[in-house]
Amino acid sequence: MDFLKLIHDLEIPNLFPQLPPLLPTPLALFTFVLFVWSFGPALKTQVRFGFLVWLRLTWAAFLLPAVTGVILAVGGLKVASATDVGHGLTRYGYKVDPVRDGEHLMYTAFALVSLYLIEMLIKGGMIEHKKGLKYLPAVTLFLYGAAYMVGRVAVFPGNNVGH
């Protein structure tokens, strides 16, 4: 179980502590690179092999913590921001917010749907291929936002502290 927690809780250290962490997890890093890279296919209306490889790596960066998270949740664990380690505080020193467990799951679902939508836009499954590629930056930006929030709600409390 500790090995699963280690995989699931992987974080990227913030190199600039005075700024908020923009890439707190490997998933956020992968999705941010995918967002920046998505402008190429959107402008050229052509998807190259490198973008597809990075998209598959992003899937892996998503599925690894998602599967370990499901296993941990079935084992009865909750996200750090919803877990009391003593005196009403989380392991990060913030007050416990039990609602964050559901929000963590919600943002994970948003990321999954976004990844699926990116696949459909690339393959032309929903709309015509060249038109669909123009929407890639918007969908990948949403994916990055969801990936960022997956990590954020796991650490920081929200508005329901103490309820």
Q: Which residue has the higher pLDDT, 7 or 59?
A: 59
Is residue 163 situated within a structural domain?
no
Is residue 51 situated within a structural domain?
yes
Cα 43–chain centre separation: 25
Domains identified in the chain, total number: 1
By residue range, what is the domain housing residue 141?
2-11+23-155
pLDDT, average across residues 53-67:
96
pLDDT of residue 19 exceeding 90, the answer is no
Cross-strand pairs, 95: 89
Q: Residue with structure tokens 């060249």?
A: 130
Question: Each residue of 21-53: pLDDT tens digit?
Answer: 888 899 999 999 999 999 999 999 999 999 999
Counts of helices then strands in the chain (DSSP H, E): 7, 0
d(CA 97, CA 80): 9
Is residue 124 situated within a structural domain?
yes
Is residue 74 situated within a structural domain?
yes
Q: List C-alpha distances in Å: 116 to 16, 113, 158.
A: 33, 5, 28
Is residue 161 situated within a structural domain?
no
Question: Each residue of 90-117: pLDDT tens digit?
Answer: 888 888 888 888 999 999 999 999 999 9
pTM of structure: 0.91
